[in-house]
A and B are shown apart, each in its own frame.
Chain A
Amino acid sequence: DAGITQSPRHKVTETGTPVTLRCHQTENHRYMYWYRQDPGHGLRLIHYSYGVKDTDKGEVSDGYSVSRSKTEDFLLTLESATSSQTSVYFCAISQSDLSGNTIYFGEGSWLTVV
């Protein structure tokens, strides 16, 4: 499982409230990612990080912010949740091996905005 833990795994929240999802990794990987999974769209990159305090936007970053103050934690924040942000959120890391760099995923966080 590449040492990735996501929390919370399930959350229901109200429109307009802030929400933070946490991704924790135990293997000192440099690259971390947040994707969202929606039917008909596959997985889309929200934000990614290439080191402590180094982050960049993905293709669907509007309405989301991230922070990485420690190597092991990558936080995704919805400042004011909307119903369109109801989704499954996956954290991922990039791991180097003999074949190059491969991206591995966490178990997902199910977020419902009502």
Chain B
Amino acid sequence: EPEVTQTPSHQVTQMGQEVILRCVPISNHLYFYWYRQILGQKVEFLVSFYNNEISEKSEIFDDQFSVERPDGSNFTLKIRSTKLEDSAMYFCASSDEQPRQPQHFGDGTRLSIL
């Protein structure tokens, strides 16, 4: 069964550095998403991406964040000038356009900011 893959599984970065989280969505999916889960808290929506542009973003997704689909398979989340509070699990997800289809999540990247 096709799946969403994320790399790396764990990223440790010094505060102030830039980090890029990578995702390979399911190949025939049209919508791509990033979510964040701070340890012990609920999953929070960051951004959705469709047709090579951001279609929706939350208040969390400020100028520090950006997303890109650099080629036909990868979908990346860039976090500039990382802060301690950016430490979290970051999930990539993808879905078909139809509402019945669930968003399929990757296994997540655990980001630790030191």
A and B: real partners?
Answer: no
Q: Which residues of A contact B (CB under 8 A)?
A: none
